[in-house]
Chains A and B, each alone.
Chain A
Amino acid sequence: MISIMRSVRRMKAVFFARNLEYLRDRASFGWNLVFPVLIVFALAVVFSGPPRALFIVTAVTSDSLPDLLDFPGIETISSDRSKALDRLSRQQTDLVVEVVEDSVLYWVNGNSASGAILELLLEYTESRPLERGETDGEAIRYVDWVVPGILGMNMMYSALWGVGYVVVRYRQSGYLRRLKATPLTKFEFLSAQVLSRLLVTLTASAIVFVGTNLILDYKMVGSLGLLFLIALVGGLAMITLGLAIACRTESKEFADGLLNAITFPMLLLSDVWFSLDGSPHWVQIIAQVLPLTHVLEAARAVMLDDAGMADITIHLAILVGFCTVGMALSIKLFKW
């Protein structure tokens, strides 16, 4: 009995000490409270709105759209003609509509049953002259869509945690202070971290890419060289972001919170698991400031649509911008 009481007393002491430690580490305590609340609100906002529609129509113009688009079962999204037709050929939209003067131009995918139904409904409800266009293309399989997302997500975690968390651990353990006492410069140290993690990230991504393709045979119609370039620049952008987070942070728990705060929005808003085409406009604007969005848009364009260098230049340029800002901030603010 006495030994049980002793045991309970010791457990109680450790329990209270641990709680005290946790409560006094304000940064991690704050993150543990604030972060889940932010996630709940973010999900609520992003996925607010009416239930999912039966059909998706992409409107190229916004004025005098056919009455059919007001039907409750139809969700209308806006896009330019080129993107809309790309989506139609992948059957990510069922109908594309454009109003020019007094006539209605529409495109359907000849392989899509939903498109055929919408075409009938449009002919039945629309009084203006109709001009038909057709694309073909098989519906994109989910695996084709999601593989670039998973590769990108893997790269994001490897890059951000592999550098950000490790540098903070080095700092907390005094290893960085030991390095400071050598002629090693900040730039040399940071560059070595970047290159080392880049090698790991690219190797891991290449193995996963080849291995999963052998099993799943997902779609890859574009240039492997371009895909490598996207992985290289995207990896660098993520790694330098991780470095920027770690350049002054002293607590591993706080670094953990910050890294979660960076990765979670990308996981949610960068089209990793599903397309956000139907989401509010402001959500899509936020997505455009996240590096993973550009990695995935460029990778999908190459893998699914055989995009060339000119098609993905804007994404690469934005990623290079992330690298430059991230590295400059890291070198400027880095504390051993």
Chain B
Amino acid sequence: MSEVILSVTGLEKSYDEVIAVAGLDFEIAKGECFGLLGPNGAGKSTTLAMLEGMEDPTQGTVQYYGGPRPPDYQTRVGIQFQATALQDFLTPFDNLKLFSSFYDDPIPMDQLIDQFRLQEFLHRDSRHLSGGQRQRLLLALALVHNPEIVFLDEPTTGLDPRSRRDLWDVVSALKADGRTLILTTHYMEEAEILCDELVILSHGKTLLQGSPKQLIADAGVSDLDTLFLSLTGETLVKTQEVID
């Protein structure tokens, strides 16, 4: 295994009485695409927020190269949130300029515009972008400072099949660049194509961890979708029994 960039130990998060994440342990290798899978409410986004440094864990730790996260951790990560509004009336060009100005050494705007194919809608009001265009812009904004780790929270949710495949191409290109990608999704096909390593979550706990190929082979099923459906259906009941 290559060098571990993030290691998670005993990670928990609760909000009042609700336990969102109930003790996770895993490691993420540098340069891999790591997927967090699970049904809605499984704790994927909360886990991601703690890895991003946007939320503090109730218990447990997230280590960066085996030590505490440095004060400039935010400049080493790029985040594409699940639902992000942008300022009204600003165009993708204005937004790129704004977000570039937050960093000392941003990627040249022309490069981002080419890489994420923003040219055709570069000067359009951001409120009038299609879902796919918007996601490409948000991804460009997350990459503006050339981060080492990129977090993608359900990047293709709500997109049509073509836009989804477009975005997969973009994500694959990022992966080929050698960046570490951490994504959440509930599209099994997406996880199977993009991810090197997966954690399947339910009720804030790990159900399974491994590479997609290994998980499919171990379970003796044809694809990840079949594995996931059988697994979550069975385990949801068990988890509910524990809660009861």
Query: For the complex, what is the distance from the CA of A182 to the CA of B54, rounded to whole Å?
Result: 11
Query: Is the CB–CB distance between B102 and A175 below 8 Å?
Result: no
Q: Which residues on the B side are within 8 Å of A173 (C-beta)?
A: 85
Query: Is the CB–CB distance between A177 and B84 below 8 Å?
Result: yes
Query: For the complex, what is the distance from the CA of A281 to the CA of B168, rounded to whole Å?
Result: 71
Shortest Cβ distance from B151 into A: residue? A181
Residue A178, interface by CB 8 Å: yes
Shortest Cβ distance from B84 into A: residue? A178
Query: Is the CB–CB distance between A182 and B74 below 8 Å?
Result: yes
**Residue among B81, B103, B141 making CB contact with A174, cutoff 8 Å:** B81
Q: Which residues on the A side are within 8 Å of B81 (C-beta)?
A: 174, 177-178, 181
Shortest Cβ distance from A182 into B: residue? B102
Query: Is the CB–CB distance between B85 and A181 below 8 Å?
Result: no
Residue A184, interface by CB 8 Å: yes
Q: Which residues on the A side are within 8 Å of B72 (C-beta)?
A: 183
- Shortest CB distance A184–B (Å): 5
Query: Is the CB–CB distance between B99 and A182 below 8 Å?
Result: yes
Query: Is the CB–CB distance between A177 and B54 below 8 Å?
Result: yes
Residue A180, interface by CB 8 Å: yes
**Residue among A175, A177, A183 making CB contact with B103, cutoff 8 Å:** A183
Query: For the complex, what is the distance from the CA of A156 to the CA of B229, rounded to whole Å?
Result: 58
Query: For the complex, what is the distance from the CA of A173 to the CA of B82, rounded to whole Å?
Result: 12
Within 8 A of A (CB), among B62-97: 72, 74-75, 77, 79, 81, 83-87
Q: Which residues on the B side are within 8 Å of A183 (C-beta)?
A: 72, 74-75, 102-103
Query: For the complex, what is the distance from the CA of A175 to the CA of B87, rounded to whole Å?
Result: 7
Query: For the complex, what is the distance from the CA of A174 to the CA of B72, rounded to whole Å?
Result: 22
Q: Which residues on the A side are within 8 Å of B74 (C-beta)?
A: 181-183
**Residue among B52, B75, B84 making CB contact with A175, cutoff 8 Å:** B84
Shortest Cβ distance from A176 into B: residue? B85
- Shortest CB distance A230–B (Å): 31
- Shortest CB distance B126–A (Å): 11
Within 8 A of B (CB), among A169-200: 170, 173-175, 177-178, 180-184
Query: For the complex, what is the distance from the CA of A264 to the CA of B214, rounded to whole Å?
Result: 66
Q: Which residues on the B side are within 8 Å of A177 (C-beta)?
A: 54, 81, 84
Query: Is the CB–CB distance between B86 and A184 below 8 Å?
Result: no
Shortest Cβ distance from A177 into B: residue? B81
Query: For the complex, what is the distance from the CA of A178 to the CA of B119, rounded to whole Å?
Result: 23
Query: For the complex, what is the distance from the CA of A174 to the CA of B141, rounded to whole Å?
Result: 15
Query: For the complex, what is the distance from the CA of A175 to the CA of B86, rounded to whole Å?
Result: 6
Query: For the complex, what is the distance from the CA of A336 to the CA of B80, rounded to whole Å?
Result: 17
- Shortest CB distance B151–A (Å): 9
Query: Is the CB–CB distance between B85 and A175 below 8 Å?
Result: yes
Most chain-A Cβ atoms within 10 A of its Cβ — which of B74, B75, B85? B85
Ordered by A's residue number, 20 sampled pairs between the chains whose C-beta atoms are within 8 Å are A170-B85, A170-B87, A174-B83, A174-B85, A175-B85, A175-B87, A177-B81, A177-B84, A178-B79, A178-B81, A178-B84, A178-B85, A178-B141, A181-B52, A182-B74, A182-B103, A183-B74, A183-B75, A183-B102, A184-B102
Q: Top 9 closest A-B pairs, CB basis? A: A173-B85, A182-B102, A181-B79, A178-B84, A175-B85, A174-B84, A174-B85, A184-B102, A183-B102
Interface residues of chain B, those whose CB is within 8 Å of chain A, are: 52, 54, 72, 74-75, 77, 79, 81, 83-87, 99, 102-103, 141
